[in-house]
Amino acid sequence: MTELEVLPRRTPEPWDVDQLVKALVHRNAHARVVIDLHRLDIIDSAFVARLLSLNKLVHAAGGRLVLRGLCPLIQETFDHLRLNQAFEMDLSDR
């Protein structure tokens, strides 16, 4: 399992996402990628687009992407936009 923690005010660029997936595939560490979002209290459409891209690339490599630590506002946003259907989410406490 690979665990990533997202930092506030740092939306990854597409190149960052591509490099991350290439590194995970190269190391054969893409079976389960967990992204911890507990430090975020707001997201924007660019960040959601990067998550969707990463999800697609990890799945294409045969892995699973799991989002963890969503604050209530972000969880509500994901539910409202039906993004909870696009992502696997770990809703348990850390």
Token duo for residue 32? 């389960």
| Domain harbouring 38, CATH code | 3.30.750.24
34: nearest Cα among 9, 58, 67, 60: 67
Mean of all residue pLDDT scores within the chain = 81
Q: What pLDDT, on the 0 to 100 scale, is given for residue 61?
A: 81
The whole-number pLDDT of residue 11 equals: 63
* 36 three-class SS: strand
- Which segment, 21-30, 40-49, 66-75, is predicted with the most confidence on average? 66-75
Spatial distance between the Cα atoms of 37 and 41, rounded to a whole number of angstroms: 9
Per-residue pLDDT tens over the stretch 11-29: 666 677 677 777 777 776 6
Burial (CB count <10 Å: 0-12, 13-18, 19+), residue 24: buried
The predicted model scores a pTM of 0.77
Rounded to an integer, the average pLDDT of 40-67 is 86
Q: Give how many domains the chain has, as a whole number.
A: 1
* 76 contacts 40 by C-beta, under 8 angstroms: no
Query: Confidence class of residue 79 from pLDDT cuts 50, 70 and 90?
Result: very high
Tell me the one-letter amino acid at 89: M
Range of the structural domain that residue 79 is part of: 2-90
What pLDDT, on the 0 to 100 scale, is given for residue 45? 86
